[in-house]
Amino acid sequence: MEGSSSNHLLTAALILFIFTSHVTSTSAAGKTGSTEFIRASCSATIYPTLCITSLSSHASAIQTSPKLLAHTALSVALDTTHSTSAMMVKLSHSHGLSPREVAAMQDCVEEVGDSVDQLRRSLREMNQIQGSNFALMMSDIQTWVSARLDQRGHVL
């Protein structure tokens, strides 16, 4: 189960990282339908199938808006990471873990909790974006998410 939790965190973080990296370039793709917009955006990612699967159910909310796409990616990442955090807390209280395993789980809980906090911060910042500062704010958000991705090795 620990591997599954790590995969969920990595998946959420990768989706967010990928979209903050590529959201501006995909807005020029000119796709008309929201599903096609998501497919075109996801084609620029490392894991396009995972990306499409994670976001296609939100197509009607995303439409063809890069801002809504990025916001939805952040929201999906936050939801997944929050679920992972809850699972890690539960697993850290499992009976039969060695002291070393308990310490490792506590480290993971802290790292995943930090990721939840960072994603919440990113969503707050995303909600403050005004037209002309979109690229700057997306750059800031990408930096924060990249920092969390750099920390993922501690959990994996």
**Cβ count within 10 A of residue 101:** 14
Residue 75: HSE in the Cβ half-sphere, 13 Å Cα cutoff: 13
Q: Which amino acid is at 55?
A: L
> Class assignment of domain 2-155?
mainly alpha
pTM above 0.75, yes or no: no
Q: Render each residue's pLDDT in the chain as its tens digit; 156 residues.
A: 444 444 545 555 555 555 555 544 444 444 358 899 999 988 887 888 988 899 999 999 999 988 888 889 889 988 988 998 898 888 888 888 899 988 888 898 898 888 889 889 888 888 887 766 777 777 777 777 666 666 555 555
Instruction: Give the SS3 label for residue 76.
Output: helix
Give the start-to-end residue ranges of the domains of the chain: 2-155
